[in-house]
Structure formats: structure tokens, C-alpha cells
């Protein structure tokens, strides 16, 4: 039986990591307590796809800040490589990387399920979204050959925050083909509530099990 890398699951506590970053030593998620965060891994420094991703994340840095969400990059490159690469991006692309970049080791990468033997020895492109209670709320994995869509990462953080406060969001939120940016109301759990649901003037319904309300 093959050994596959372990990984945290949705709803799990984010694993405790003591790491070295381009901004100094850091404890994750301890140093992020009370904040949303996005930890994303990249296969290697000084590679074209990863460089485009770092620029794209940095260009959305203010959007993440407005969401109260911290960005942290990570790969198994050594810290001096991270520092030199960040400097190269500033000097050659005129983009200052403001978020820390973690110098991970194989043990950390395995703990987060970022080493996939079938894809080589570098970390895959993983995205972990954590909430202010340090719970894992969303996980995405991309292969090395496909760069990520950072607008989707921003959308996912927004959607998680909205869903926590107001209810579930539809596909493609906030531009869903059926209900646009409206919020889906949880289906009734008993016949009485189901019968009353269609009479609720504050809702719009396709049927008693599919009702939606305005985004606040």
C-alpha cells in the first residue's frame, strides 16, 4: 500500500508550525490569532509561473488587507533564496512583496500534504484559508504547471466571511446566473417550516427548499 502525504481536513485546527520567514521567525497560526489568513505554497523560487503568482498575490495585497486576511507564501527553498528572489522581483519587476515567505522543510510540507510524489520533489501549489479561530476553512491544490487564479482566492475569502454571517452563497457568487449576489436560505428541517417558507414575504423562492434573500 502506497504512503500518501497527510493533510489537514476542512474544519480541522490548522497544524502548529514554527518557521523561519523573510520577515523573521513566525508561529503559524499562533501569530495570526484573530485573523483570517491565506497560506499558499509554490514549487520553487526563480521560476516563471511562481513569479507571476507572487506578483498577482501582491497586486491583490490591499484587497486581502481590507478583508482582515494575512498572506503567507511558502516553499522548501532556503531562506536566502527567498530573500534574493523577493529582491529580484523588486529590482526587475518593480513589485515589492510585502507578505512573508516561509522557508519550509520536507517535514512541514508533508504535514500540510504539499509534497505529492507523483508530481516530483517540489511542493505543489497549495492554498489554505484559515479563519480567526485557526480552523482550516478551504483547501485548493494546483499542479506545478498551472498558475492559480488569485481573484478566486479573494472571492473565496469574501464568500467564507459572508456565509459565516449571512448564509450560503451560490455558484460563482456574487455573479450567479440565477440569483446574482443573493444569499441562499438554509432549507427547512420540518414540514411546518416548509409550509410556512413560501409565505415569507422577505424571501424569494423557486420552491420551499430553494429560497434566497438579499445580501446585507
Residue 50 a catalytic site member? yes
**Catalytic residue, candidates 50, 69, 205, 211:** 50
As beta bridge partners, residue 37 has 70, 130
Cα distances (angstroms) measured from residue 63 to each of 3, 73, 151, 164: 39, 16, 10, 19
Taking each helix axis from N to C end, the angle separating 150-166 and 48-59, rounded to the nearest 10 degrees, works out to 40
Torsion angles phi and psi, residue 192, rounded to 5: -60, -50
Residues of the chain by 3-state class (helix, strand, coil), percent to 5: 30, 25, 40
Residues forming beta bridges with residue 24, ordered by sequence position? 21
Helices (H), 41-130: 48-59, 61-66, 79-93, 106-111
- Catalytic positions, written as ranges: 50
Amino acid at each position: 500500500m502506497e504512503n500518501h502525504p497527510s493533510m489537514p481536513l476542512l474544519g480541522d485546527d490548522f497544524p502548529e508550525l514554527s518557521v523561519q520567514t523573510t520577515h523573521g521567525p513566525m508561529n503559524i497560526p499562533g501569530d495570526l490569532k484573530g485573523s483570517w489568513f491565506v497560506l499558499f505554497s509554490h514549487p520553487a523560487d526563480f521560476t516563471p509561473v511562481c513569479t507571476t503568482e507572487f506578483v498577482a498575490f501582491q497586486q491583490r495585497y490591499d484587497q486581502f488587507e481590507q478583508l482582515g486576511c494575512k498572506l503567507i507564501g511558502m516553499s522548501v527553498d532556503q531562506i536566502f533564496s527567498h530573500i534574493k528572489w523577493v529582491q529580484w522581483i523588486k529590482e526587475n519587476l518593480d513589485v515589492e512583496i510585502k507578505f512573508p515567505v516561509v522557508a519550509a522543510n520536507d517535514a512541514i510540507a508533508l504535514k500540510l500534504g504539499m509534497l505529492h510524489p507523483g508530481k516530483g520533489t517540489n511542493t505543489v501549489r497549495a492554498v489554505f484559508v484559515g479563519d480567526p479561530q485557526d480552523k482550516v476553512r478551504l483547501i485548493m491544490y494546483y499542479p506545478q504547471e498551472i498558475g492559480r487564479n488569485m481573484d478566486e482566492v479573494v472571492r473565496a475569502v469574501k464568500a467564507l466571511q459572508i456565509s459565516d454571517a449571512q448564509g450560503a452563497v451560490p455558484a460563482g457568487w456574487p455573479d450567479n446566473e440565477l440569483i446574482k449576489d443573493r444569499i441562499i436560505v438554509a432549507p427547512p428541517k420540518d414540514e411546518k417550516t416548509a409550509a410556512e417558507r413560501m409565505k415569507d414575504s422577505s424571501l424569494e423562492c423557486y420552491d420551499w427548499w430553494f429560497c434566497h434573500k438579499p445580501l446585507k
